[in-house]
Amino acid sequence: MRITRRSAAALCVAAALAAAPLAAAVLPSTAAGTDPIGVAARPAEGSTNVIADGSRIVLGDAPVRMGSAEIKQRSGIGNLDPVRFPAATSAVVVDYTTSTPDGSTAEVDVRALVKDRWSEWTPAKAGTPTALPGASDLVQLRIIVVAPPSGAKPWVEDVRVQPTDKAASSGMEVQAAPLKSRVFATREGLVGGTTANGHVIISRDHFVALPSRRGLANNGSGNYSVKVCTTTGTIRCAFEPVWDVGPWNTKDDYWNPSATREMWKDLPQGRPEAQAAYQNGYNGGKDQFGRTVANPAGIDLADGTFWDALKLTNNAWVDTTYLWTGDGGRGTVSITSGYLNVRSTASSTGAVVGMAGKAAQVPVECQVTGQSVSGSQGTSNIWLRVHAGMYVAKAWISAGSFGAC
């Protein structure tokens, strides 16, 4: 068994999508602005397969998950209550104790509320204070525990966080436009399996998987979402939450600048490691687990996204926009299940040119007046343009007002 005491800085990378309301309690700061703040071992909203044991967060008893990465692991996520400091800070230091027996792992991630949106989750590296992407007085910590198929019970305890001014620039300032890259998409399938955030996959499901937990949304949340568009024939787009980790890798945040990628820092931004391994023999043609890469996939699509939203019949290259990596107007798809049709005109008689999944964020370019529609947000004749020639009814979107098209 390995027990480690870590003092770590947390780098919160790239502005995320519009912040969801904080259902969990927000912990107040201590009297002194730079004192460490203890974070209770109380799994908050979005936690999965962890239990609280005194001051510890421990991996739970759920069996091996079956998701996009297809790695035989037991895993758990413990979101902790957000912490508010008395003043905005440019960096934080995290301190905690871990136990990682029998090949298991445990880490603490952090994110910050910047420009009213949550930044990307980033592992709290040991020892060195690290800058946030912008000044913030509200941060949240997350515990990730992973173990082999049986036996080990990793845990994290005594989590504390404090602001610091001893950090270099993060190099992750918020972009005006989110990153878009062309990547190879594969179909996930695995109906009945469990994704990395605890979602149980249903038939014709709507979500995507990316090969890093940095952009992994909570189950039922879409504050980390993507826009995925076809590249041939009549263009169709899907707007989906990131609910799983994969394909191939689990630490390949290729949408981030090379210098801040968790692994594979010598690859250019936007190029997945699996693509480089498959096309160019990078890393000996293998993924981070030593498996020979059999296709260049950088994103996995749930069946409903693959077959219904994009009308794909085989794996294909797609243009993917990682919406949390940039600024811009956003709305949230407010439906209880299924998907929302994306139309070619501001009318329910317009051709269906894509779909938006439950809780997904959609980028809003502008708004137009069209057919009156009744939905979860009331009755409205306002439609939002989410891509050139693509509209969704505002009656089903939680959002503010936007300029006219």
- What token pair was written down for 388? 């050139």
* Straight-line distance from the first to the last Cα atom of the chain, in angstroms, rounded to the nearest whole number: 61
How crowded is residue 258: how many other Cβ atoms within 10 Å of its Cβ? Answer: 14
All structural domains of the chain: 3-164 (2.60.120), 180-325 (2.40.40.10), 329-398 (2.30.30.40)
Q: How far is 235 from 62, CA to CA, in rounded Å?
A: 41
Hey, what amino acid is at 209? A
pLDDT score at 19: 35
What is this structure's pTM? 0.90
* Coil, helix or strand at residue 66: coil
pLDDT score at 72: 81
Q: How far is CA 88 from the centre of its chain?
A: 24
pLDDT score at 123: 82
Q: How far is 315 from 118, CA to CA, in rounded Å?
A: 32
Burial of 54 per CB tally in 10 Å (0-12, 13-18, 19+): exposed
Strands 50-53 and 56-59: antiparallel
Per-residue model confidence as pLDDT tens for the chain (405 residues): 445 444 333 323 222 333 333 444 676 554 455 678 889 899 999 999 999 999 999 999 988 877 777 678 899 999 999 999 999 998 899 999 999 999 999 999 999 998 888 999 888 876 678 677 788 999 999 999 999 988 899 999 999 999 988 766 655 566 778 999 999 999 999 999 999 999 999 999 999 999 999 999 999 999 999 999 999 999 999 999 999 999 999 999 999 999 889 999 999 999 999 999 999 999 999 999 999 999 999 999 999 999 999 999 999 999 999 999 998 899 999 999 999 999 999 999 999 999 999 999 999 999 999 999 999 999 999 999 999 999 999 999 999 999 999
Query: 226: closest CA among 17, 390, 14?
Result: 17
Q: What torsion, rounded to 10 degrees, do the Cα atoms 195, 197, 198, 202 define?
A: -50
Q: Are 187 and 303 in contact (CB under 8 A)?
A: yes
DSSP 142-199: EEEEEE-SSS---EEEEEEEEEES-----S-PPBSS--EEEEEEEE---TT-B-TTSP
Q: How far is 42 from 52, CA to CA, in rounded Å?
A: 6
